[in-house]
């Protein structure tokens, strides 16, 4: 299966325009607002899955969804809310991400 080029620059610009901070980007994941939510690139570069940290305030979830999805559309990005996630630190300084789907 071939993966298309990921438009990380466009995603970072979108997030910055909306007042969010990219905390960390690794492989297909972009962590935002100090682990408040993340975007995961799908196999097609213009599609991103949106996950919220399970501890992120519900009001903030709604605010992010209402701003990021239409703003992404304007930049040619399809952002799809997928669910929640949880991050735990492993003893070997690695992180484990558990996705909790809706």
- Tell me the pLDDT tens digit for each residue of 43-99: 887 999 999 999 999 999 999 999 999 999 999 999 999 999 999 988 888 889 999
The whole-angstrom separation of Cα 33 and Cα 55 is 13
Residue 36 falls inside a structural domain: yes
The whole-angstrom separation of Cα 11 and Cα 15 is 6
Residue 85 falls inside a structural domain: yes
- pLDDT the model gives residue 102: 63
Q: Does the pLDDT at position 4 exceed 80?
A: no
Residue 94 falls inside a structural domain: yes
- pLDDT the model gives residue 45: 79
Query: Which pTM does this prediction carry?
Result: 0.90
Q: How many domains does the chain have?
A: 1
| Angle value at C-alpha 69, between 76 and 37, nearest 5 degrees | 115
Q: Does the pLDDT at position 1 exceed 70?
A: no
Residue 3 falls inside a structural domain: no
Residue 62 falls inside a structural domain: yes
- Domain boundaries, position 95: 8-101
Q: Provide the Cα torsion 48, 50, 53, 56; round to 10°.
A: 140
Residue 2 falls inside a structural domain: no
């Amino acid at each position: 299966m071939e993966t298309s080029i990921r438009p990380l620059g466009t995603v970072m610009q979108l997030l910055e325009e909306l007042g969010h901070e990219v905390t960390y980007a690794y492989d297909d994941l972009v962590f935002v607002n100090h682990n408040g939510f993340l975007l995961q690139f799908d196999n097609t570069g213009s599609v991103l899955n949106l996950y919220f940290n399970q501890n992120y305030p519900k009001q903030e979830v709604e605010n992010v969804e209402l701003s990021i999805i239409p703003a992404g559309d304007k930049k040619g990005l399809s952002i799809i809310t997928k669910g929640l996630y949880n991050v735990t630190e492993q003893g070997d300084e690695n992180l484990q991400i558990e996705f909790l789907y809706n």
